[in-house]
Structure 1
Amino acid sequence: MSAPVRIADAATVGLLRPGDHVDVIAAVGGDAEAKVVARDARVAQVPHGTGGGWPSADGAEAVPTGDGGALVVLSVGRETARNLAGAGAVGRLAVAVTHAG
């Protein structure tokens, strides 16, 4: 299934391309330790906007969110999609590229 995920750092999203694989890491409030909420998720799409976004790997702009983050669409299983939605609702999400597509 496709899961739209808001990543806190728009510049990081700008480095992603469809086909890349990422781990999604959540940092919640004052927790000292971040946790991986999705492993080796495939980037399905990096939506692009106009104006104000960070440049993406293909030269377009990543769609910014109101707090400086950006959207990426990941292909994941149903349970992982639920985990991502829950983690994104209570904390900030980051990605680490596991391998480029």
Structure 2
Amino acid sequence: PEPAVAAVPAPRASGAARPVSAPVRIADAATVRLLRPGDRVDVIAAPPTALGGSGAARVVARGARVKAVPPGDAARPDAGALVVLSVPRSTAAALAGAGVTSSLAVVLC
């Protein structure tokens, strides 16, 4: 017999707006060290071409709440630093996608 497969229920409208935790790697580790849990930040994505002046940076998240700032890797300061943000699920997906193709920066609100 075929194994039973449980259906995954669709998210409820009220649950879709509930914040999730999104780990985000920010390019400038020194900037992340300035952040504290509870701070609000905007997250900016700068594609590699934008760093050379020929592309456009874009805001990926506005007013995201800093949930945690994990300890950085002192052996690799050029690797950026991690920050955990509390954002809506759709914003978390946008942040994950932007982190793959762009350098991310934060602006303290």
Per the TM superposition, whether the score is higher than 0.5 is yes
Query: 3-state SS of the aligned residue for 1:17?
Result: coil
Q: Which amino acid aligns with 1:33?
A: A
CA distance in 2, matches of 1:71, 1:30: 23
> Larger % of helix: which?
2
Q: Secondary structure at the match of 1:16?
A: coil
TM-score (norm: length of structure 2):
0.73
User: Does residue 23 in structure 1 map to residue 42 in structure 2?
Assistant: yes
Q: Give the aligned length.
A: 86
Q: Give me the identity figure in percent.
A: 64
Q: TM-score, normalised by structure 1?
A: 0.79
Partner-residue secondary structure (3-state), 1:30:
helix
Q: How far apart are residue 28 of structure 1 and its match? A: 0.9
In 2: Cα distance, 1:52 partner to 1:81 partner: 26
Aligned pair partner of 1:52 in 70, 74, 83? 74
Runs of 4+ in structure 1 deviating by more than 4 angstroms, as ranges, are none
Higher normalized strand content (fraction of residues)? 1
Taking only aligned residues, the RMSD between alpha carbons, in angstroms, comes to 1.6
Q: Which residue of 2 aligns with 1:41?
A: 64
3-state SS of paired residue (2:64)? strand
- In structure 2, runs of 5+ residues without a counterpart are 1-19
